[in-house]
Structure 1
Amino acid sequence: MSDERYQLSTGDYLALDATAMVAAVKTGELTPRMLLSAAQARCDAVNPLVNAVNMRHDEHANSVLRARHHAGSELLGALAGVPMLLKDLNTYLTGTLTTNGSRMLADTPPATRNSTIVQRYEAAGMLIFGKTTSPEYGLTTTTESSLWGQTRNPWSLAHSAGGSSGGAAAAVAAGIVPVAHA
């Protein structure tokens, strides 16, 4: 099935957990590109309401997809094709910022290397396309920072997502991704 002729509907995307995504990719029912596009579209639709994703790294994900396609390795890895988000707290993705939710780090140079956990996520076949919010340095019980603002609970927008992994939790609960780094 061609990516150009078939886009995954929101309902179909939301019905898939990570294991179902992997199974569909391995059988050829879906492609990693289709899953990534659906995750990006879902992020575009709901992130303005919940503020779970503070930085998008779409070009990184697209570059990884192109490299895997040319190497014939799109289907390799236990989590091949699963879109995911990193927590913006001491996690480095080459060429991107890590702010730890702090305005003090908003102008730091981009990372020159990937964290070990990023290397492992990508070796497993996951597609990282952004970072999630956290409170400044992960130190409070609500996911609010002066840099990124408040992350809202997608099931009750009047409430904070809470905790240092509130952005990750809100992204999963809102159906942006099936799994996120917490």
Structure 2
Amino acid sequence: MLKPEFRVRRLGQRYACEEVDALVARILATAERRSVGPDVTVDEIRGAAFRTPLLGPGYSVEEVDNFLAEAERWLPGRPAAESAGRATPVPGERPAPQFATVRLREGYAVDEVDDFVERVMATVNGGPVSRPVTVRDVRNAQFSPTRLSEGYDIVEVDAFLDTAEEWLS
């Protein structure tokens, strides 16, 4: 496994290089089982937040975010269907979506989207859910906007809602 090469940008959306490098080094050490400190967890990767340099270089946000999404699969001992709480995926089950995160443009509140998507996936996959989701719930779904903190890409979430509406119809 090789260390990723991220493009360095001086303008636009970018992350502080030294913070990204530190997390990437820990991810690679964990994936290669040569870690001397605590292993990186999936939750830690998902919750990673990096400074955005006001001036100066930084790594491409898109490239770093794509690497982090891919890195989740490398971690040793990670269950195959972690989000569903099962060790093995069920044939024919629809997988939960993964959305890109945005930081400097408007997005949807991560916790609100995650809670709703969890209910949708439990409903369409026949899992246990306290309140099954209806087509009407999907059509009326609204999430709080985020602007300066991390949020999910609006276009991707809206596209998922369209798909979920089809599943439930």
Using the size of structure 2 for normalisation, the TM-score is 0.35
Q: Which has the larger radius of gyration?
A: 2
Structure with the bigger RCO (C-alpha within 8 Å, sep 6+) is 1
More strand by share: 1
